[in-house]
Amino acid sequence: MATYFAFGVAQVFVGATITEQVYGWNGMGLYSVTSIQNQDINGTVAVVAFSGVCVLAGALLSDLLIAVVDPRVRAR
């Protein structure tokens, strides 16, 4: 459950593309689709890099939460 929660938090920042397009909200998802459609290389790279940082932060958060929740996983 801790792993799912941590990666869910990362997905909140990255995975709202459809919601943003349906409701017309400005955000990362709409920006990523627009930058891909306009062949904006710098914008696309920025979105992909930010997505990677969010996934890495989610993985770190997952590891920390598992270490707190599960007493069998401890640093020696």
For every residue of 9-38, DSSP letters joined together read HHHHHH--HHHHHHHT--SHHHHHHHHHHT
Flag whether the pTM goes above 0.75.
Answer: no
Number of structural domains in the chain: 1
Convert the pLDDT of each residue in 24-67 to its tens digit: 888 888 888 899 999 999 999 998 898 888 888 888 888 888 88
Q: Give pLDDT tens digits for 11-27.
A: 777 777 778 888 888 88
Domain hosting residue 10, numbered range: 1-69
Q: Is residue 9 part of a domain?
A: yes
User: How sure is the predictor about 7, in pLDDT bands with cuts at 50, 70 and 90?
Assistant: confident
Give the model's pLDDT for residue 49. 93
